[in-house]
Amino acid sequence: MSEVPVQIPGVRPWLPIGESGHVCRSSGHRRQRRRRQLAWRIRQIAPRADLINVCPVETASTTQDVDRTYTLKVLDAQGTMLTLGCDVPTRIVSLLQSAHPEADWSRPVSWRADAEAVTPAPGGEGP
């Protein structure tokens, strides 16, 4: 059975239409929105956070499975390390990874609130 393109008024004809009849949007818009809101969301979880260093820690449970967890060092503008709750590092890493999927998360990275970008950690070392 062949699909017949559906023309919806006000929608560009080259945008794909999903089964529900809504336009299928790319995840690029969602990623841009996540990047714009990232500093605000991180400050909701960890107030005064200015610099976040993320270091992956890999543990091999078997020869084939590798579990990756992350160690975080969160600093404020004065360079003072902030104390975080138990679930806060997981939430911060999840926010960073969803906003910056192109980053190499197998290496230590840094995020600065003023630059709003994930960059390789200086010297390649983690927290």
Model confidence over 72-108: pLDDT tens digits? 999 999 999 999 888 899 899 999 988 888 888 889 9
pTM for the model stands at: 0.69
93 compared with 66, residue with greater pLDDT: 93
Question: Are the CB atoms for 96 and 104 separated by under 8 Å?
Answer: no
Is 6 a residue whose pLDDT tops 80? Answer: no
Helix or strand or coil: residue 63? Answer: coil
Q: What is the mean pLDDT of residues 6-23?
A: 52
Looking at the DSSP bridge assignments, the partners of residue 54 are 72, 109
Q: Mean pLDDT, the chain, as a whole number?
A: 78
More reliable by pLDDT, 114 or 19: 114
* CA quadruple 36, 41, 44, 46: dihedral sign: negative
Task: Identify the three-state secondary structure at position 93.
Answer: helix
* Whole-angstrom distance, CA of residue 87 vs CA of residue 90: 6
